[in-house]
Amino acid sequence: MRACRPCACLICGILLTAIPAFAHPPYERVAGTFRRADGTAISIVRHHVDGIIAADPVSIQFRLPDGAEVAHTPHIFDAVVQPVTSGVEVYQFRTTWLPIASRVDLFDGYQLKDITSSSRATSLIIHFTGHWVGYLVAGSFTAFFVALHFGLRAMHKRGWRAALRGLGLAFVGIAGFFLAYDILVFEPLSPLVLGGCGAIIWLLIRVIRRKRYATVS
């Protein structure tokens, strides 16, 4: 055991040295514009910092036309901007496994006000509507890999088909692993929401098939 310690320390040192090579500088994405009561257009910016081996934390920043910052939220795993009549709501999520907002702020054009107690109940819906494209893409890839898996499993284990079946199953396993890793670590998607949507679609397909079978019979 003692002999393993220098080796372990050497590996840790190499990893710590290599991590900065993968780091990247902060970057920004424009999330929209808010015009307050005096007519001033305020830019809504998503400011990301490097997450190294995980998703890049994001801060929602509100800026005047000259670039001066009016207000900002702390950096957090995920944040969704929701325009409302009285301003802009910012839903902040520490994790999206169970996408219930840890904090909700209302920006009225001048400052952020904590409205978590009155808006947290709708945060699950806001999270889903804010990332529906991501859920659609992830769900499509998941459905494709599942269908491909069962299709390959149904192939005969003879001749060239056996080799094709083995290579296909290996590809599905590796690609499925990377897809799951990307969703769990880097994407602001909830595996629970994704699984729930998949279960609902599967149940609907089964109900439709039963109705068609009953009609044909």
Q: What is 34-82 written as a DSSP string?
A: EE-TTS-EEEEEEEE---TTSPPPEEEEEE-TTS-EEEEPPPBSEEEEE
Burial class (CB in 10 A: 0-12, 13-18, 19+), 50: middle
What's the pLDDT score for residue 14? 45
| Residue-wise pLDDT tens digits, 125-150 | 999 999 999 999 988 898 898 888 88
59: left (phi over 0), alpha (psi -120 to 50) or beta: beta
What's the pLDDT score for residue 18? 39
What's the pLDDT score for residue 51? 72
Return the axis-axis angle of helices 191-216 and 132-153, rounded to nearest 10°. 60
What's the pLDDT score for residue 162? 83
**Both tokens of residue 206?**
């089964």
**Both tokens of residue 2?**
């003692």
Strands 69-72 and 58-63: antiparallel
Residue by residue, pLDDT tens for the chain (217 residues) are 444 555 555 454 544 443 444 567 888 999 999 998 888 999 999 999 987 777 889 999 999 999 999 999 999 999 999 999 889 999 999 988 889 999 999 999 999 999 999 999 999 999 999 999 999 998 889 889 888 888 888 888 777 888 888 898 899 999 989 888 888 788 888 888 888 888 888 888 788 878 777 666 6
Ramachandran angles phi, psi of 74, nearest 5°: -65, 160
What's the pLDDT score for residue 117? 93
